[in-house]
Amino acid sequence: MGSEDRPVLGSDHPTLGPFVRAMDTMVNGPVKWFRSKVVDPARGETYPWYHRQWQRVPGIEDCYTEDVVCREEANVQFKRDWLVEQEILSLLRERMNECFFYEKGTGLAHYQITPKPIIDLTEGSQHVCKPIADTYNRAAENYFIKYGEISNFYGRAEGALMKQKHRMMWERRHGPVGTGMNSDAAVPLED
């Protein structure tokens, strides 16, 4: 119910009612007219504040070293992307835990002669939660590859770029990270 529909406070008073209505017409009348005839038509359709989309800026790899503005914009975009990916990972973790809680079984499922894991997530498992758990594990691994061991407060896009560069150099020399130092995967140096 808008303020235009409601009567002004005191307008129904037996003695002061006409005076209050006259003052309301003189003081608020022009303001109401200007708003309804000029401001509201010129405003157009309202933009939903919760769907704000930020313009993408060039990444840190496209910025020159001395271009401070470009580097700072890339860093702000990096921090924003970090928060988005953190929220995505949180939602995936929440869905996985809800699936585990819902599908774990109760009652006779726990009283078995040969105990089996309640939630079987091994390779080749047909458990309902396995696709969700695999998606979460892959997302958590990718999140750690990109943002792991970078300070939340002091972390910058330059640090993530250097981390990516060092990882690529390691994989070129020694194979995938986590497999140890493979001597046969090393690239021979030419003299």
Which of 55, 92, 91 lies closest to 74, judged by CA?
A: 55
pLDDT for position 139:
96
Per-residue pLDDT of the chain (191 residues; tens, 9 = 90+): 455 667 888 788 888 888 988 988 899 889 999 999 999 888 878 777 776 778 899 999 999 999 999 999 999 999 999 999 999 999 999 999 898 888 876 555 566 677 666 777 888 888 888 999 999 999 999 999 999 888 888 889 999 999 999 999 998 988 887 787 776 645 555 65
Which residue shows structure tokens 């005191």? Answer: 10
pLDDT for position 184:
61
What backbone phi and psi angles, to 5 degrees, belong to 8?
Answer: -70, 145
* Residue 37 token pair: 């005839």
- CA angle (173 as vertex; 167, 176 as ends), nearest 5: 55
